[in-house]
Amino acid sequence: MREKIKSWVVTVIFSLTLICFAFVNIVSPDLEFSKSERRKLKAFPKVTIKSVLSGDWFDEFEKYTLDQFVLRDFFRGVKAWSRYHLFFQKDNNKIYIANGNINKMEYPLDEKSVIRGAEKLNKIKEKYFKDKNVFVAVIPDKNYFFAPLNGSLSFDYEKMEQLIKENIKDISYIDLFDAMDKDMFYLTDIHWDQEKIIPVADLILKTLGREEKASDFTYEKQKLYPFYGSYYGQAAIKTKPDTLTYLTHAYLDRATVYDYETKEYTDIYRPELFEGYDPYDEFLSGARTILTIENPSNTSGKELIIFRDSFGSSIAPLLLCGYSKITLVDIRYIPYELLGDRLDFSKDIDVLFLYNTMVFNNSAMLR
């Protein structure tokens, strides 16, 4: 009798738990964005006869329920902790931790994508910069340094470099792989730490033929804490946050930034954006189609155009010492064919394509 009562109680508790979870999920408002994962969450899929008959609606509904499940972050944390500490798995959804540094496996190498990326650079050079000094620098992602420490999969980086070098035409290659190390990256984020990459800026300036060095200046360090990078939320476990450091100097304070999207002038650093969805937007306002930075402290008249991804936001201020003007272009958001209507390419300019390895491996994003 006692066993029956025990079974009945367990069944009732389990049933009530399921009912409560179902009820809370139904009445809870849907969230549009996951701050921890830095991504939009699935909305309730539109019901159409076609989507129902094809089964697509049910697939989308499943994704929607997984995204909007109540206490989702808690259960993500339980799953991650179990994989790392209970089952001793090396990764959780391709996220792994090596020497306290959170990383994401990027694999395999898409050779066709790398070639298409190199060919895209050739098209841009041919259209706008036939008689200009054009360079490309590839930023290794964190896997290059940390995957061997964790026994994780990663790109064949030598092959990637080889493909880029073989397929670019009249574009000089700047090797950043040997100039960087694992300590240049944040623990919880994909990006490099500005205060650590001054040697990288010096190398780029020297290769571009500039006499100025970023290391010649004494910068004042400004710190923002805590910095939870993009990988922190994806890891779904508690780790030590970073401190985001940005470097200020009188010449940077005098510089002016023009945003072609908002048609407004702004500052190089935007600490007020640190509390937003992506704290890294503190550097040059984050993702922007076209920005120009005027440096009145440099009277050479020399200009630099950087075709960049988000990594360019933090190194551009360090390169500014060598130029009167730097223009940053992000062709992930604007087709390169439209640039001629917005920018003047006839002046004395250097051109730098600065992309991390993941962009080349997913070069379809380059428009």
pLDDT tens readout for residues 21-76: 555 555 556 656 566 566 676 777 787 887 777 777 767 766 766 656 556 666 66
pLDDT tens digits along 102-153: 999 989 999 999 999 999 999 999 999 998 999 999 999 999 999 999 999 9
Report the run of H or E that residue 127 belongs to, with start and end: helix 111-128
| 321 exposure class (CB count in 10 Å sphere: 0-12, 13-18, 19+) | buried
| 173 exposure class (CB count in 10 Å sphere: 0-12, 13-18, 19+) | middle
pTM score, two decimals? Answer: 0.85
Measure the CA dihedral 205/207/208/213, to 10°. Answer: 20
Token representation of residue 309:
């991804």
Query: So where are the chain's domains?
Result: 2-73, 101-365
CB environment 99-133: b (16+ within 10 A), e (fewer): eebbbbbbeebbeebbbebbebbeebbeebbeebb
Q: Which residues contact 101 (CB under 8 A, 6 or more apart)?
A: 142, 146, 182, 185, 187
Q: Distance between CA atoms of 38 and 35, rounded to whole angstroms?
A: 5
Choose between 338 and 92: higher pLDDT: 338
Q: What is the mean pLDDT of residues 185-197?
A: 97
Token representation of residue 179:
């100039």
Token representation of residue 165:
């070098």
Question: Beta strand 95-98 with 39-40: parallel, antiparallel or unpaired?
Answer: unpaired
Q: Which residues contact 357 (CB under 8 A, 6 or more apart)?
A: 106, 138, 139, 140, 141, 144, 155, 157, 160
Is 199 a residue whose pLDDT tops 60?
A: yes
The predicted pLDDT at position 239 comes to 85
Token representation of residue 171:
């574009």
